[in-house]
Structure 1
Amino acid sequence: MNKQPDSAADNSPHKKVTRKVSVAVIGAGTAGQNAFRQARKLKDDVLIINEGFWITTCIAVGCMPSKLLIAAADRAHDANHSGEFGVHASAQINGKQVMDRVRAERDHFASYVKEQVESWPAETKIAGRAHINKKGLIEVNNELIEADKIIVATGSSTFIPDGWADKLGNTMLTSDTVFELADLPKSLAVIGAGAIGLELAQAFNRLGVDVTLFNRAKRVAGLKDDDINNKAIDCLNRELTMHLGSNITEVGTQADTGDESFRAFINYEDSAGQKQQWKGEYVLVATGRRNNIEELGIENLGVELDDKNRPKQLDKKTGKIGDLEVYIVGDANAHLPLLHVASDEGFSAGSLVCDNKTDAYIRPPATPFSIVFCSPQIVNVGMSLPEIQADSELEHVIGKVSFDNQGRSRVMGVNCGLLHIYGCKKTDRILGASMVGPDAEYIGHILAMAITNDLSIKDMLDTPFYHPTILEGLRTALRDVQRLMEIPYQSHDTQEGNF
């Protein structure tokens, strides 16, 4: 792919192309592997290049090990908090066994991906760091590769504030390293109340670790609906120590005092502006992830990035960049860094790069959908409330249900939560929803399916809701939407026991 004239500077030590391919995929995570497999169905000369491990972020350091830790934590929590049912118990937690199982099961899942990668012909894969030079050629190891089309799927890495790694040393953990702990720590500060921070903070807390969660904003999980955010904070505060609205001014380690349990420290100003200090064993930095685009040389293909390393002129449906034969998919494009999105984007890009467009299956952009697997769970589907409010053409209502006294939720002892459904008065359709509560992952899937398939509120209410289930709360919120479609919107609070 020659994007510059021959006279342009070429920093490559190679003098001539060693290989020509129709498609080169850079990165072997979820998006890259899907793109590679799909492209190989229609092209014989597809190459995949990858630096580091050949398994996905989800399996290695993300979705799967975190859910394994949460599974152990939930069992401990249930054992320790069953007194209200007349069942009295106390969990005996073996930290080494907990962490051993997390790694063992993670490696079990990873083995299937490794087998698949090993089954690919050797000539189709290269282990090494790729760099795109000013002639649009890919430099990797001792090769110089010319590709007609390039799919960039280089994923993302943990973001660490400047200087923190040096100041915290081996007391600093990230989501990439925390699962390698041989045993559960005694104490842990978690920086960041996004999905990763919330899930890990609560899980470690339930496993007996003294956890303190810090976040600069008075928000959790990036919630944009104030009522849902406040309810989530209320529910989570019942078991988790959180300093929201805090400003961290300094991190570091103390001189060796012989007590490793209090070697790390965090100086911060609390939400009232008072100076405070935390001391403990480890600091888990969960301040987000950033796409791995830097140093790839993608700008040599004419790709422009904004100040957050997000590609401009990105077609969110296909990952294609403008008129270039370049596709940036998965976490690399920093659009929606979620596994199911990366999977769909990789699949679509792998189809698009092939000449046979008739047989190519391009998956439409998924309905926005995210789940945080804390307890209670947090879900966002479709448009956010600020997005809806910013569109003057959308006349909306907000159907509500509280789970604080919802029948099955109370039976199960998980009755803390709130669901908002944003309905469009003109179309009788669901625009979006936000929720904190029990079974939110299932309610979220139902709402995502309804939005994707353009179901009306009436269509949803024509569906049977079995009694007694937590899902009956969804029906209550839908009925509230329907009621508000017929009368002027007014502030209200809807709660249904479903007894």
Structure 2
Amino acid sequence: MTTTLDSVSENGLANRIRHVDVAIIGAGTAGQNAFRQAKKATDNIVIINDGFWTTTCATIGCMPSKLLIAAANRAHEAKDSKAFGIHSEVKIDGQQVMARVQSERNRFAGFVEQQVESWSENQKISGRAYINNEGIIEVNNEHIKADKIIIATGSTPFIPEGWTEELGDRLLTSDTVFELNDLPQSMAVIGAGSIGLELAQAFTRLGVAVTLFNRNNRVAGLKDDAINEKAVACLSSELTMQLNSKIEEVGEYASDDQSSEKATTAFLNYTDSDGHAHKWQGEYVLVATGRRNTIDQLGIENLGVTLDEKNRPQNLDINTGQIGDLEVYIIGDANAHIPLLHVASDEGFSAGSSVCTNNTDAYIRSPAIPLSIVFCEPQIINVGMTRPEIEASEREYVIGKVSFDNQGRSRVMGVNCGLLHIYGCKQTDKILGASMVGPDAEYIAHILAVAITNDLSIKQLLDTPFYHPTILEGLRTALRDVQAQMSIPYQDQKPIQDGF
């Protein structure tokens, strides 16, 4: 570490400026990966973090949500087995459910904390960073000049204007919902994206009276109309959904039961898809309307970085996160490119490699193909290009289809609701993308992602074995449908049915 007297304050007192090779702002998945990688090349490095020194995934995201989903699925299987001749009475202990979520969540977060604790104290600063008009990082009472700056400040839940004040402690987000000590009696979930959909179904399966609201008629961001329609149909069997609804007003009022610890009740005034006015009231409103980065509050304009109207940095290199030819790298959720953990991890690795003094041999990970998985049941996936993107590219393509309603293993397991579309390129015999709602979709997504990444043809995929009876045989059926249509005009395409 070197310390210099590079500036003088207005009152004449010299400010000691710490000069480092690399400064990383934010210690989530992207920031921690960048730190570990850059540290291989230099010890003159600092990482600055405001808040917990774990990751969004471990603390408030992927892991606690999957813990809640795991409990919900156990409850659902126990309650919904009459078709198999299994009859049982299920009692859900809400306090025990949430205690396990929090205990296991803390265990996962603890592993991350242990790793951070192993880092030198001289290289860690807890505090909120701001970049002044001289490009100097101000944090607590320190001033830091960095040759290269990596920004990985993540994102926070988006809350519509005024809702925090109107709903008070009746408002929940994905950052706060896992701190509940017990399961509530009722809940409105706002937003049918991946977070909203997963949590709405999980709480429903755990006995909470949930209503899911969304401003349009889509779930999980699906762009294929047929897949979206099927997903809505599959999920509607257990989820109360108000799609295409508009929330006009939110608030809270004093509860009739003043002896209760919850002395207020939340309400929503909304119009449904037909324009009729309704009122919902219940215990909590969970806002799951997406997450937003907050880099506009960091002072990055003083580094020469410009943002668009959605806070996305301009001139972003998606390989490394570098902004144009500036020695500034914006990675993970902070750049609002693809806000997924595996993308943040790769971007952190690549940024940490590229900032090294001698980076000619640095390993820069190529950007992964788009891959998203929603862990509701049935699961929803998108891989590669979406159907609108393919149509906009004017490629000639076919759609291989398979329904899982009568697919052999799916029906055996009683999870037979789903549809898979694979988009095949007629010129190349390769997969452009896929969209699906159905059982075991997470595994089908990974197989298709491997195929696209490695440029495998439809024939090469079909040359691999598909064991019988498995749900993955449905993938083979869709691939066969793609292959059969390669020489058939689109308007004459007909799906084939999966055999037993």
> Which TM class, normalised by the smaller chain length?
over 0.9
Q: Is the 8 A contact 1:11 1:133 kept in 2?
A: no
Secondary structure, aligned partner of 2:477? helix
Separation in 2 of the partners of 1:171 and 1:399? 46
Larger mean Cα displacement after TM superposition, 16-25 or 238-247: 16-25
Q: Aligned AA for 1:396?
A: Y
1:431 equivalent to 2:446? Answer: no
Separation in 2 of the partners of 1:429 and 1:451? 8
Separation in 1 of the partners of 2:424 and 2:445? 15
> Could you say which residue in structure 1 is the equivalent of 2:105?
106
> Could you say which residue in structure 2 is the equivalent of 1:79?
78
User: What does residue range 74-223 of structure 1 map to in structure 2 within 5 Å?
Assistant: 74-223=73-222
> Could you say which residue in structure 1 is the equivalent of 2:52?
53
Separation in 1 of the partners of 2:23 and 2:9? 20
Separation in 1 of the partners of 2:424 and 2:116? 45
Q: What is the CA distance between 1:92 and its match in structure 2?
A: 1.1
Q: Is the 8 A contact 1:403 1:495 kept in 2?
A: no
Identity %: 70
Q: Is the 8 A contact 1:419 1:433 kept in 2?
A: yes
Secondary structure, aligned partner of 2:83? helix
> Could you say which residue in structure 1 is the equivalent of 2:39?
40
Encode CA deviations 1:12-60: one digit per residue, 9 max, x unaligned. Answer: 9984342100000000000000000000011121110000000000011
Separation in 1 of the partners of 2:12 and 2:190? 43
Q: Aligned AA for 1:150?
A: I
Gaps of 5+ in 2: 1-5
Q: Aligned AA for 1:181?
A: L
1:415 equivalent to 2:416? Answer: yes
> Could you say which residue in structure 1 is the equivalent of 2:499?
498
Q: Is the 8 A contact 2:21 2:148 kept in 1?
A: yes
> Could you say which residue in structure 1 is the equivalent of 2:316?
314
Q: What is the CA distance between 1:359 and its match in structure 2?
A: 3.0
Secondary structure, aligned partner of 2:24? strand
> Could you say which residue in structure 2 is the equivalent of 1:3?
none
Gaps of 5+ in 1: 1-5
Separation in 2 of the partners of 1:415 and 1:371? 19
User: What does residue range 312-351 of structure 1 map to in structure 2 within 5 Å?
Assistant: 312-351=314-353
1:280 equivalent to 2:269? Answer: no
Secondary structure, aligned partner of 2:296? coil
Secondary structure, aligned partner of 2:207? coil
Q: Is the 8 A contact 1:381 1:448 kept in 2?
A: yes
The runs of at least 4 aligned residues of structure 1 exceeding 4 Å deviation read 9-15, 259-262
Q: Is the 8 A contact 1:10 1:133 kept in 2?
A: no
> Could you say which residue in structure 1 is the equivalent of 2:3?
none
Encode CA deviations 1:245-302: one digit per residue, 9 max, x unaligned. Answer: 0000000002342264971100000000000000101000001100121220011111
Q: Aligned AA for 2:334?
A: A
Q: What is the CA distance between 1:486 and its match in structure 2?
A: 1.9
> Could you say which residue in structure 1 is the equivalent of 2:245?
246
- 1:448–1:11 distance in 2 versus 1, CA, 3 Å: farther
Q: Aligned AA for 1:450?
A: A
Separation in 1 of the partners of 2:499 and 2:144? 64
> Could you say which residue in structure 2 is the equivalent of 1:23?
22
Larger mean Cα displacement after TM superposition, 37-46 or 63-72: 37-46
Encode CA deviations 1:124-174: one digit per residue, 9 max, x unaligned. Answer: 110001000111110011111010000000000000000000100111110
- 1:321–1:327 distance in 2 versus 1, CA, 3 Å: same
- 1:272–1:493 distance in 2 versus 1, CA, 3 Å: farther
- 1:280–1:373 distance in 2 versus 1, CA, 3 Å: same
Larger mean Cα displacement after TM superposition, 466-475 or 481-490: 481-490
User: What does residue range 332-481 of structure 1 map to in structure 2 within 5 Å?
Assistant: 332-392=334-394, 394-481=395-482
Q: Is the 8 A contact 2:485 2:493 kept in 1?
A: no
The count of corresponding residues between Structure 1 and Structure 2 is: 492
Separation in 1 of the partners of 2:282 and 2:68? 21
